[in-house]
Chain A
Amino acid sequence: MHVTSKDFDEKARAAIADDQLQMGLFVFGKIFPLMRDAKAAELPEFEGLRDSARDIKTNVLENLGTYLDAFEARAEEAGGRIHWARTAEEANSIVERLCEEVGAKDIIKSKSMVTEELELNDHLIDKGYSVVETDLGEYIIQLRNEKPFHIVGPALHLNAGQVSDTFYEAHKKHGRTEKVEDKVKLVEEARIVLRERFKNADVGITGANFLVAETGQIVLVTNEGNADLTATLPKRHIVVTGIEKIVPTLDDLSVFLRILARSATGQDTSNYVSLYSGPRRARDADGPEQFDIVLVDNGRTDMLGTPVEEMLRCIRCGACLNSCPVFSTVGGQTYGSVYSGPMGAVWTPALASVSSAAKLPNASSFCGKCEEVCPVRIPLPSMMRHWREKEFEAHLTPSGQRWGLGMWAWLGKHPSLYRAATNLAGIGLRLISKGRSGKRLATWLPFIGQGWTQSRDLAVPQEPTFLSQYKEGRRR
């Protein structure tokens, strides 16, 4: 996984200055949380279901080996083949070999964050395969050569005009000469182009939202039905998924189906909820001849038994992104990783490294909204705090910040000096401040204070100080 999170600050500045993006983000940040809250309120048992979902996933992580073992046995009984991959390289070469086995040329793919993480498309395209994403959002960003903006809505940062330009250029070779701008017509055009790909593909690649240990089924949840076409039409269906996606039984699965769409898009249910196991049976009229599942570790087992283990409960609904004030100000691509927002701030350092992604857990105000909406109750802020601590321990924190914190700590241990310093700072602030609407505000600060006053004013503390009032025994 290529991570460019080190550029977070520069990208965030650019994103804030991008008026078009800001307009999209404003709508996005308002509508999705409202829809989620409305749908959650319609289901009186919603909070109870969240508790159940958390408990089921906790049980899964404590018994991961047993459930994976059972899943493998059931999936093989159904005629599927299971492949295990420790790393992205291993996973990519397994998929490549599977495509080679059936002499494939054209591959269709349904949206999968794991394959984004593995950079599977790049790998297959390098090897000469044609790979086409079929989720509309994913298809648009593939044509634009971008990373997903959001784990659920990969192209939500673009407006219809941008999609129109992209389609106009890309679809010329399919004989489309008319430029369409209407959203309905844009969807129709993608349908026409992708329909031919569906009908002619040799291999279909999907992810899996869940794996059911009881039955060996993989579960796909979409609104477009593209995953079902991908799983049904080509002669080989390859599922690429993370080992943490397992749930024990179908009854457990129900709990997740009831919270997933409500948390993600504010729907009662996604339009297509599908369970697949194995290749076509003797009596089946259609379906793939071969069914392969690639179970990917890629850093997940490294999280087991650590303070970020609970992150493996994540069901990729995106609720934490939708409700995050940082995500809805800077957008997903600023994060420089396929996983963005609060969940990305915990996943990315775990999968890549703290040194490459330390800016992400730092880009949080710890408002706690993400934890409040997480359907599996992942304590996201405390995990981000864990990475901040790791960053500090590894001496990755910028020297200015380390020096500042060191000074602060030293002063804190010397109360008389601390008081003197804060008094002095108060006097200084009052000297350079201006009165405005009854408040005293400092609009310009020297040294590191510049960073603060560049974008906002600093309220100046009032006199007398708390400690001097306390000494005089003044109470209100």
Chain B
Amino acid sequence: MSDARNAIFAKIKAADAKRGNASPAAAKARLETPPPQLVPAMGKPAAADALDLFIAKAIELGCTVADCPSFDDVPAKVTAYLNEQDSPLQVMLPMDEDLSSLNWLQAGLTVSAETSRQALDGNTSVTRAIAGVAETGAVAVTSGAKYPVSLGLLPDRHIFVLKVDEITGGYEDVWRLARNAKDNQGVARAVNLIGGPSRTGDIEATLVMGAHGPRTVHIVLIGPTS
């Protein structure tokens, strides 16, 4: 134990004695069984409303959303989007069977699984998400072999592939998924909620897109959307 740690804890203990409200057992129990907190209606939409709410919020955050009938149609949807953006028909993919098994070549796309910084910089990435959050319109991802975090940060265009049934209500649903995804070192190294293109308001409080990360975020939404 470091001297600094002991000194800090001694001061905390002294304040506890003075104030007299500390309850270590209750605090530990709270960590074991987190008590539910107030969740606003927006964070627990009815199943029928979640999809519409997610799409509306995602668009509000500056994302674009495309309907896609099935996984097999994802490459064609990506090609259509890149053509619309006037961008090269090349995509960077994670080592994710869901995605790598698709027929990208047929859709006219060049595919790369390289994850070096130079390779990612300025390109287009396509990744899977763990959830779409209806409350905010953000998409949730967790780090791992299937999602290198830099794939969502270095490319200019980030395309999420999300299934309609992966749309959840609010933060609580993401935590539930993140807690379940525990490995032997606890939850994933990174749990990111991404709400559209990187942006800044630092110059004259004017919103400008494309600050450091992706300039565009596109969501390919698989499944019946109406």
Contact = CB atoms under 8 A, between A and B. Distances in A.
Interface stretch (A96-104, A183-191, A358-366): A183-191
B153 A301 contact: no
Given A229-B213, A254-B170, A59 B27 contact: yes
B37 to A, nearest CB: 5
A237 to B, nearest CB: 10
A163 interface: yes
Interface of A: 24, 27-28, 31-32, 43-45, 48-49, 52, 56, 59, 62-68, 70, 74, 77-79, 83-86, 90, 134-137, 140, 153-156, 158-160, 163, 183-184, 186-188, 190-191, 194-195, 198-199, 213-217, 223-226, 228-229, 231-233, 243, 248-255, 257-258, 265, 268-281, 283-287, 295, 297, 301-302, 304-305, 309
A45 B21 CA distance: 28
B54 to A, nearest CB: 13
B136 interface: yes
A271 B18 contact: no
A190 B203 CA distance: 12
B15 A304 contact: yes
B189 A284 contact: yes
B200 A62 contact: no
Given A43-B40, A304-B11, 13 more contacts: A45-B41, A78-B187, A78-B189, A140-B203, A156-B205, A183-B208, A194-B212, A214-B31, A254-B43, A255-B37, A272-B213, A276-B191, A304-B19
B189 A278 contact: yes
13 contacts: A28-B205, A66-B22, A67-B31, A78-B185, A90-B4, A183-B204, A224-B199, A228-B190, A253-B175, A280-B189, A281-B189, A304-B19, A305-B15
Contacts of B30: 59, 248-249
A155 to B, nearest CB: 6
Given A65-B16, A194-B212, A215 B192 contact: no
A171 to B, nearest CB: 15
What 7 pairs across the A-B complex have the smallest Cβ distances? A304-B15, A285-B148, A305-B15, A225-B213, A249-B34, A137-B202, A301-B11
A86 B8 contact: yes
Contacts of A31: 205
B76 interface: no
Given A277-B186, A286-B150, A301-B8, A270 B211 contact: no
B34 A191 contact: no
Given A28-B205, A84-B2, A279-B189, A52 B38 contact: yes
A234 to B, nearest CB: 11
B177 to A, nearest CB: 11
Contacts of B199: 223-224, 271
Interface stretch (B82-90, B102-110, B138-146, B160-168): B138-146
A392 to B, nearest CB: 24
Contact of A272 (B150, B194, B205): B194
Interface residues of B, number: 88
A254 B211 contact: no
A252 B34 contact: yes
Contacts of A140: 202-203
A112 B34 CA distance: 29
B202 A271 contact: no
B195 interface: yes
A273 B8 contact: no
A198 B120 CA distance: 13
Contacts of B137: 268-269
Contacts of A78: 185-187, 189
A255 B135 CA distance: 13
Contacts of B117: 199, 233
B27 A67 contact: yes
Contact of B193 (A24, A258, A272): A272
A79 B26 CA distance: 27
A66 B27 contact: yes
Contact of A184 (B178, B197, B208): B208
B13 A65 contact: yes
Contacts of B153: 225, 228-229, 232
A214 to B, nearest CB: 5
B187 A277 contact: yes
A305 B5 contact: no
Contacts of B27: 59, 63, 66-67, 248
